Amino acid sequence: MGDEQKKTEPDNTAVRTALWRAMHILVDAKPHILEDEIGFKLIAPDKDWQQRPDMHPEFTKRLRASIVARARFIEDLIIEQSKKGITQYVILGAGLDSFAQRRPDIASQLQIFEIDQPDTQSWKQRRLTELGFGIPQGLHFVSVNFEKASWWEQLLKAGFDSNKPAVVSCTGVTLYLTREAIISTLAPLATLAVGSTLAMSFYLPMDLLDEEDKFLQQLGEKGAREAGTPFISFFAPDEILALAHEAGFKEAKTISTKDIEQLYFLNRPDHLLPASGEVFLLATT
């Protein structure tokens, strides 16, 4: 039973991210940047889940803001691109992403490919079925052990059409990959059909963070090391752009925390602001 339980547990990071999205609705003022309680329903945490150290409403406020803002940024991007006729959406490191459940109006027009570790995916599919969400026809789960198998090959096997343009999102992943692994992830993405867009998040080195985020970053690094998933890769914005150009993307730009603030955080009554550590690469083929 213990082994069976272990086999079907979702990734800790995916759980934390989903709980922060739920917490945003519970403790932050309206208007909410993203309304996402699906992951929370899937996890069905103990009633004292908010007592977890990593759920402290004030202490984790800026990280929580970053998490909901990045999800909203990706969501706005896929909605905008689907209006332009894009029909394929790939989520690398999907975790407990809930776009397909929350936005059936858009999702029903797309082929969505969620790529992640087998454990997280089998658990998620089981919970979606148990809770009556079901698995829509256009939602494809692509289970990959990133250390051992090619996610690109698995994606093609799942029915992805490399001749058609796509939107690819990849958030919260590069931090845990070596530079070499990031380069080998970017290489096939740069060969996507013309008109494809990649939104990938990267993390700034400690010396480029705002002062108030450094302590939290140190705590995060310590926790990640102890959990056996150490933070590996940090990049300055110009290094991120160099990676994209070397991979062969036609155009590339970075979206900073300040850009995200302008998009989603102006004139908020609770003065909620995102942490300064995350930068988006927005690249097109």
Structure letter (DSSP) for residue 93? T
- Which residue, chain included where needed, has tokens 């290094």? 239
Q: What CA–CA distance (Å, rounded) separates 42 from 35?
A: 15
Name 89's bridge partners.
112, 167
Q: What CA–CA distance (Å, rounded) separates 75 from 95?
A: 15
Mean of pLDDT values over 264-270: 94
Helix-strand-coil percent breakdown of the chain, rounded to 5? Answer: 50, 15, 40
Query: 202 by DSSP, 3-state: which?
Result: strand
Q: What CA–CA distance (Å, rounded) separates 174 from 202?
A: 6
Query: 285 by DSSP, 3-state: which?
Result: coil
Q: What CA–CA distance (Å, rounded) separates 274 from 66?
A: 5
Mean of pLDDT values over 175-190: 93
pLDDT digits (tens, 9 = 90+) for 48-60: 999 998 899 998 8
pLDDT digits (tens, 9 = 90+) for 152-172: 999 999 999 999 999 999 999
* pLDDT value of residue 12: 86
Is 132:108 a contact under the CB 8 Å cutoff? Answer: no
At 41, the pLDDT band (50, 70, 90 cuts) reads very high
Q: Where are the alpha helices (DSSP H) in the chain?
A: 2-7, 12-27, 38-43, 61-83, 99-102, 104-107, 118-130, 151-157, 179-189, 211-226, 237-247, 257-264
* pLDDT value of residue 7: 54
Query: Is the pLDDT reported for residue 1 higher than 70?
Result: no
Is 111:166 a contact under the CB 8 Å cutoff? Answer: no
Q: Which candidate, 81, 119, 121, places its Cα nearest to that of 97?
A: 121
Q: Which candidate, 176, 183, 214, 162, places its Cα nearest to that of 95?
A: 176
Token couple for 141: 């789960």
Token couple for 188: 């096939």
The H or E element spanning position 110 is none
Between vectors from CA 76 to CA 111 and to CA 198, what angle results, nearest 5°? 65
At 2, the pLDDT band (50, 70, 90 cuts) reads very low
* pLDDT value of residue 228: 81
Main-chain phi, psi angles of 270, to 5 degrees = -95, 5
Domains in the chain (CATH in brackets) are 2-284 (3.40.50.150)
